[in-house]
Amino acid sequence: MFSSEELKFAKPGAVRTRIAPSPTGLLHIGLARTALFNYLFAKQCQGSFVLRIEDTDLERSSPEYENDIIENLKWLGINWDEGPDISGKYGPYRQRERLDTYKKYLDILLKDDKAYYCFCSEEELEVKRQYQMSQGEAPRYSGKCANLPKETVKKYLAEGKPSVIRFRVASKKVSFNDLIRGRLEFDMGLAGDIVIAKDVSTPLYNFAVVIDDFEMKISHVIRGEEHISNTPKQILMQEALGFPRPEYGHLPLILGTDRTKLSKRHGAFGITDFRREGYLPEAIINYMAFLGWNPGDEKEIYSLPSLVKEFSLEKVQKGGAIFNIKKLESLNGFYIRQRSIEKITELCLPYFIEAGLIIPIFEEMQYPPAYGGKQIIQKYKNSETEKIITLDVLQKIISIYHERLKKNSEIVELADFFFKEKLEYDKKLLKWKGMNDGEVRDVLNKLENILSEISENNWTKENLGNVLLLEAERIGPALQKDRGYLLWPLRVALTGKEASAGPFEIAEILGKEKTLNRIKTALYKIS
């Protein structure tokens, strides 16, 4: 399963990967995919997976976003061995709690003259950048402050002159073997000295990540390809501080179906949004695994344990991974069908409640201590009629749409008619293949007469189907019509929709009285 480079670190416990999100936004599909690949690689090697919160950007970071990241990773089943909520040997795991550590290493770089204070103003730097670009040159720092006398530096700092700390970038070529892309090389003579801290107490990303990866003994850094240009900078800082170099692997970007940068217009939302829409965690995990990885066969269904067994960095592609919301919906539909009706009903109920179609009610029941004592029984009622809706009925409603659901939130649009007293639809919808109003009236009258004769005891989908299909077969040849001539107006009268589950299943759940009332309403509408 491992390449020769990977095997060097494949001893149990030797591999340590990490996911290091900044809590400046909600957990998105790209970061979740990166977390998944790090988790899979660590677990396959019997190593450790670390969660580190990179929150040095105090202005943009928030506990709300950190909680969202932690909660959604756990919901997906991507659990870590060390992190801010469970501690560990190499903590703390929030960068804001590690400022003294960064200061220690910044002081070392400054003392060894491998970093220096830069007092150039942003306006001055911008003018220089614009000039370099006008000359066709890549923007880079000129080195104006690189050799200021120590006395001048002390004077400026004492005066409180605005400054940053720059790292001296060696003018040499830096190469490394990317576990996904092979050998990569960069001419750092073109980069210029880079800013690594606003001051000794405020480190920036490229510096802090080097310190954290070293202190936390990270062996493999697996991250998105947008970080490729950061890697040689971090390698130079590792060399300057005498740190060992971890192995690097850069995952392909996730693109939309039009091969542009992924965005909400492609259907890509935060993981919280996918949860609200009714996607299942196992579907998202399965789908994310294929965003850049291919097992090399036709198999498409993978549980998290099977991914741990089968995953390999050698099978991660270099080119962009295409996010296709239709594929995710299809996969989610598959996983919904694997869940029991009881479980899917439990997951769908909140959507009915949020839509105002049903209202949960709670009854406190008293039982003898031997039978459990006090219990809270939850029931539901129709928000329009105040009638109690049993869990059995709700499960029947869900069951007839179980095969159709691509995400649980769709249940409201599919099944709202069960809870409404009055259906809003255009009378034209009642017509099947060019029927006129008179034909629709005749069919509805026939349906009312036939169904009125069926007793409550025989009001089952099986019996309704037998009776109505027999009638459809009888009148069809005489009128040169197919069975839709009879069944289409019935379906529309019962649901008010162009597409729905079968009319026999729907009629059974609605019951005789409500079914006949809806046929009468349709007759009134067509008249």
> What integer pLDDT is reported at residue 265 of this predicted model?
75
Q: Is the pLDDT of residue 516 over 70?
A: yes
For the chain, what is the mean pLDDT? 92
> What integer pLDDT is reported at residue 10 of this predicted model?
45
Tokens coding 65: 């976003």
Q: What is the pLDDT of residues 391-421, one digit of tens each?
A: 999 999 999 999 999 999 999 999 999 999 9
> What integer pLDDT is reported at residue 166 of this predicted model?
98
Angle value at C-alpha 179, between 176 and 180, nearest 5 degrees: 115
We find that the CATH architecture of domain 427-526 is Orthogonal Bundle (1.10)
Candidate from 79-88, 137-146, 254-263, 491-500 with smallest mean pLDDT: 254-263
> What integer pLDDT is reported at residue 371 of this predicted model?
62
Tokens coding 21: 């999100």
CA distances from 308 to 42, 79, 82, 301, 364 (A): 9, 13, 19, 13, 46
Side chain identity at residue 416, one-letter code: D
Q: What is the pLDDT of residues 346-376, one digit of tens each?
A: 999 999 999 999 999 877 766 666 666 666 6
Candidate from 13-27, 261-275, 452-466 with smallest mean pLDDT: 261-275
Superfamily of domain 1-89+252-338: HUPs (3.40.50.620)
Its pTM stands at 0.90
Q: Is the pLDDT of residue 171 over 50?
A: yes
From the list 423, 424, 422, 442, the residue with the least C-alpha distance to 432 is: 442
Q: Is the pLDDT of residue 6 over 70?
A: no
> What integer pLDDT is reported at residue 369 of this predicted model?
66
> What integer pLDDT is reported at residue 479 of this predicted model?
64
From the list 370, 66, 44, 55, the residue with the least C-alpha distance to 220 is: 44
For residue 440, give every residue at least 6 positions away whose Cβ sits within 8 Å of its Cβ, in sequence order, or none: 427, 430, 431, 489, 526
Query: How far apart are the C-alpha atoms of 433 and 443, rounded to whole Å?
Result: 14
Cβ atoms 79, 101 nearer than 8 A: no
> What integer pLDDT is reported at residue 249 of this predicted model?
97
Tokens coding 366: 């008293």
Candidate from 117-126, 255-264, 312-321, 483-492 with smallest mean pLDDT: 255-264
> What integer pLDDT is reported at residue 372 of this predicted model?
64
255: left (phi over 0), alpha (psi -120 to 50) or beta: beta
Q: Write down the domain spans for the chain.
A: 1-89+252-338, 341-419, 427-526
Query: How far apart are the C-alpha atoms of 497 and 503, rounded to whole Å?
Result: 11
- Show which residues are catalytic: 264
Q: What is the pLDDT of residues 10-29, one digit of tens each?
A: 455 689 999 999 999 999 99
Q: What is the pLDDT of residues 102-155, one digit of tens each?
A: 999 999 999 999 999 999 999 999 888 898 888 888 889 999 999 999 999 999
> What integer pLDDT is reported at residue 175 of this predicted model?
97
Confidence of residue 64 (pLDDT cuts 50, 70, 90): very high
In DSSP terms, which residues pair with 358 in a beta bridge? 382
Look at 484 and 452; give whichever has higher pLDDT.
452
**Averaged over 87-110, what is the pLDDT?**
96
> What integer pLDDT is reported at residue 2 of this predicted model?
40
